[in-house]
Amino acid sequence: MTSKYYITTAIDYSNGEPHLGHAYEKIGADCVARYRRLRGHDVHFSIGMDEHGQKVAQAAEEAGQTPQEWVDTIAAKFQAAWDELAISHDDFIRTTEPRHERAVKELFRRVQEGGHITEGVYAGYYCVGCEAFKSEKDLEDGKCPTHPNLEIKWVEEPNYFFEIGRFRQKLLDLYHANPEFVQPRSKYNEVYNVVEGWTDDQKLSVSRARVPWGIPWPDDETHVVYVWFEALINYLSVTGFPDDGYGATWPADVHVIGPDIVRFHAAMWPAMLMAAGIEVPGKVWCHGWVNTGGARFSKSAGVAVTLRNLIDRHGPDALRYFVLREIPWHADGNFTWERFDTRYTSELADGYGNLVSRVLAMLGRYSGGVVPDHPGPTPLDAAGDELIAAYREAMDAHLLHEGAEHAWRLVDRANGFVEERAPWSLAKQGKTAELEETLAALARGVARITLLASPFIPGKAQAVWQALGMPGEVTSATWAALEHPPTSGAQTTKPAPLFPKDRTEAVTN
């Protein structure tokens, strides 16, 4: 029985180039999606672009382009980056697509039919950086703390409002019933406290007047739907909503997002769904911030480290591995070139890369490249069983950095096993049975590590899978193959160096 697993990331604003912050989120979600496929789930993984709103319109104007021309160019850049980083999404939604407008209008109709939209006048601050209304207490020294470089605007206009306060108790009930609805716990507490502080007649402005770039407000062309109210609905648009059958994908199992947008996802979004009578998502997973040199990667802060430089340094797989191993998936982390180079050398080149190259070389030398038929088990198999269980526990809990750590412990264990058994001396002494047992165990070990590593370094894992003589793509391997690698009798070959140490030789995969 396969079970469906619908995972999404935030859809990125089309107001600049992709940077490591965006990439980290997509790489992490991709790692989860790939792990779930390995577990046999029927995964639907969606990412995309948030193309409406004032700040996108401003960026287009500054570039001297129409908003549509601008978002087309930006979407192509993001897609190219995600292709290069082997993001295995099943869908790429753009909020300018007709399927999205259709879903927005239908969801809106249901919310309105429920009597949850009212008219009024909004008077308050607006941060274009957040595309969000701000109260006095959200500001620090009159500025938005997330966008201190932008001027806060005072806005006074007739608006349509969503009566979000009516869902206060239902949201609190949801949080009580499902304490893992928002993870990590610190974010749960943040959202809980915000919602608890609402009044029952709390309103949220959900239209903007005089903003031409957006989805027109149904029945009132002088307004567009507020960009957040609209953008969140992308998660339904990709399921085919409102067509019959959207429930095969919806509800999302997990929305992966960053720290600045957790309230939109864990409070506003479920309230909108409740108002429309639609099931809420299973979980909101909030990763941390990626910083460098004391600044956060962002479109405006002018961080000099570009995604191009990062990929070019050691190839896309190395970047994927590094960010997922270095930055815990639930906390903030820091990028430095030094740490990147150190982990590349010790864990990828000298660790996994060296293990693969010596095991395949020994299979060639002592066994004509054919994996001997010897089921073991050896101490290496036992260590593998333990580490697979630990990996699974970590990955099920979304602790990707721990998952990588367990996989790489098996690399160390396998490299240790080579030293302990010294196949070269077994060969010299003519201890054929022991030599065969050792080589067979090492082939199984490498196959297991490769499957465990495949959500992190899919390109290199494919190269090793092929060199091990395993059939098909590593992406279609099963969990059973991880537990009992079908390596006996496989005809192996020697791959090109996986992680060259001389950077000028660095290959992209």
CB of 50 or CB of 402, closer to ligand ME8: 50
CB of 231 or CB of 348, closer to ligand ME8: 231
Among 10-18, 82-90, 183-191, 368-376, the segment contacting ligand ME8 (CB under 6 A): 10-18
Closest C-alpha among 131, 174, 159 to residue 273: 174
Which residue's CB comes closest to ligand ME8? 258
Out of 5, 6, 7, 25, point to the residue binding ligand ME8 (CB under 6 A): 25
Out of 6, 7, 21, 326, point to the residue binding ligand ME8 (CB under 6 A): 21
CB of 79 or CB of 454, closer to ligand ME8: 79
Out of 6, 7, 10, 207, point to the residue binding ligand ME8 (CB under 6 A): 10
Cβ-contact 167, 275 below 8 angstroms: yes
Cβ-contact 477, 450 below 8 angstroms: no
CB of 128 or CB of 426, closer to ligand ME8: 128
Among 4-12, 141-149, 171-179, 456-464, the segment contacting ligand ME8 (CB under 6 A): 4-12
First to last CA, the chain: 34
12 touches ligand ME8 (CB under 6 A): yes
Calpha distance 427→107 (Å, rounded): 70
Q: Could you tell me how far CA 180 lies from the centroid of its own chain?
A: 18
Cβ-contact 82, 47 below 8 angstroms: yes
Tokens coding 410: 């098996």
22 touches ligand ME8 (CB under 6 A): yes
Out of 71, 164, 232, 267, point to the residue binding ligand ME8 (CB under 6 A): 232
Q: How far is the CB of 51 from ligand ME8 (least distance, A)?
A: 9
Which three-class secondary structure state does DSSP give residue 385?
helix
Strands (E), 23-147: 42-50, 91-94, 117-127, 132-134
- Cis, peptide link before residue 184, omega less than 30° from 0: yes
Calpha distance 326→332 (Å, rounded): 10
CB of 224 or CB of 232, closer to ligand ME8: 232
Residues 171-190 that bind ligand ME8 (CB under 6 A): none
Which three-class secondary structure state does DSSP give residue 195?
helix
Q: Which residue has the tokens 């150190």?
A: 342
Among 7-15, 39-47, 245-253, 273-281, the segment contacting ligand ME8 (CB under 6 A): 7-15
Out of 5, 13, 161, 499, point to the residue binding ligand ME8 (CB under 6 A): 13
Which three-class secondary structure state does DSSP give residue 290?
strand
In this structure, the number of other CB atoms found within 10 A of the CB of residue 40 comes to 14
Q: Which residue has the tokens 């009578």?
A: 277
Calpha distance 303→293 (Å, rounded): 9
CB of 74 or CB of 383, closer to ligand ME8: 74
254 touches ligand ME8 (CB under 6 A): no
> Rounded to 10 degrees, what is the CA torsion of 192, 267, 133, 118?
-120
Q: How far is the CB of 20 from ligand ME8 (least distance, A)?
A: 7
Out of 261, 356, 442, 481, point to the residue binding ligand ME8 (CB under 6 A): 261
Calpha distance 267→240 (Å, rounded): 23
Calpha distance 403→121 (Å, rounded): 51
Per-residue x/- marks for ligand ME8, 263-292, CB under 6 A?
A: --------------------------xx--
CB of 13 or CB of 167, closer to ligand ME8: 13
Out of 28, 214, 258, 281, point to the residue binding ligand ME8 (CB under 6 A): 258
Total residues in contact with ligand ME8, by rule CB under 6 A: 21
Closest C-alpha among 462, 414, 461 to residue 439: 414
Per-residue x/- marks for ligand ME8, 294-333, CB under 6 A?
A: --xxx-----------------------------------
CB of 76 or CB of 389, closer to ligand ME8: 76
Residues 45-84 that bind ligand ME8 (CB under 6 A): 50
Q: How far is CA 274 from CA 72, 202, 256, 299, in A?
A: 33, 16, 20, 34
CB of 101 or CB of 260, closer to ligand ME8: 260
Residues 443-472 that bind ligand ME8 (CB under 6 A): none
Closest C-alpha among 376, 438, 439, 447 to residue 407: 447
Q: How far is the CB of 10 from ligand ME8 (least distance, A)?
A: 3
Calpha distance 401→287 (Å, rounded): 12
Binding site for ligand ME8 (CB under 6 A): 10-13, 21-22, 24-25, 50, 231-232, 234, 257-258, 260-261, 289-290, 296-298
